[in-house]
């Protein structure tokens, strides 16, 4: 299957306005849950092509699909391997998706991503959400802490919060943000739940 074939397959298997209504509204997740094994396999292949090779709208569709439908263990390994071999950085949508799937991730698959993160934690900071819960107090946490002073965008610091939450180290993370500009901290807080945002401001301001 090529990227164009993946798009064509998805279009031909969309009923009504499925592609435009989005996942969860008679969307591809519903197709996945009701399809036979062969159709499921083709759907997973097509979404993988969109995620790895597609444009922004392709990647958004595929990321939304996998975030809702999950990924079988062999595919999750393939996604982790693709992230590494394609030399994506932490801002690629696949990094965020792997974070969303971290609770489904086996330790051997996580190890693939841990190595990638530890090789360049600043460039791969977006991958921290996927890896930190698998090495909460070892070298990965240490590299996360070392990278943090170089991270100065609110969205990236929200990713850091998600990583710390997955690793059950939110209090430590908030403490590491002390001394950051108030405007930046408030921007981060506004992107969190009210309770978490207030806790961040209380701890870091």
Q: Could you list the pLDDT tens digit for every one of the 205 residues in the chain?
A: 899 999 999 888 875 444 444 443 347 888 888 889 999 999 999 999 999 999 998 998 899 899 888 899 999 999 999 999 999 999 999 999 999 999 999 999 999 999 999 999 999 999 999 999 999 999 999 999 999 999 999 999 999 999 999 999 999 999 999 999 999 999 999 999 999 999 999 999 9
Helix axes 37-53, 73-85, angle to 10 degrees: 20
Pair 140, 194 in one domain: yes
Q: How many domains does the chain have?
A: 2
Pair 47, 88 in one domain: no
Pair 141, 62 in one domain: no
Pair 117, 60 in one domain: no
Closest CA to 14 of 37, 55, 47: 47
Domain coverage including residue 24: 1-70
Cα dist from 94 to 30, 35, 108, 173, 175, whole Å:
22, 25, 18, 24, 29
Pair 112, 48 in one domain: no
Tokens for 71, please give them: 């990924």
Pair 202, 194: CB distance under 8 Å: no
Domain boundary among 54, 70, 86: 70
Pair 163, 62 in one domain: no
């Amino acid at each position: 299957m090529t990227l164009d074939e993946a798009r064509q397959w998805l279009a031909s298997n969309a009923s009504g306005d499925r592609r435009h209504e989005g996942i969860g509204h008679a969307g591809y997740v519903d197709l996945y849950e009701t399809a036979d094994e062969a159709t499921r396999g083709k759907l997973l292949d097509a979404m993988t092509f969109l995620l790895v090779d597609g444009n922004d709208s392709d990647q958004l569709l595929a990321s939304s699909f996998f975030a809702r439908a999950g990924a079988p263990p062999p595919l999750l390994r393939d996604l982790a391997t693709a992230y590494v071999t394609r030399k994506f950085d932490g801002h690629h949508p696949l990094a965020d998706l792997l974070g969303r799937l971290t609770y489904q991730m086996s330790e051997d698959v996580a190890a693939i991503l841990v190595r990638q993160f530890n090789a360049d934690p600043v460039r791969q900071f977006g991958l921290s959400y996927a890896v930190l819960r698998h090495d909460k107090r070892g070298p990965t946490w240490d590299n996360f802490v070392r990278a943090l002073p170089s991270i100065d965008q609110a969205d990236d610091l929200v990713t850091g919060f998600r990583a710390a939450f997955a690793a059950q180290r939110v209090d430590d993370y908030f403490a590491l943000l002390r001394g950051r500009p108030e405007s930046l901290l408030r921007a981060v807080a506004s992107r969190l739940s009210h309770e978490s945002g207030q806790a961040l401001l209380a701890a870091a301001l």
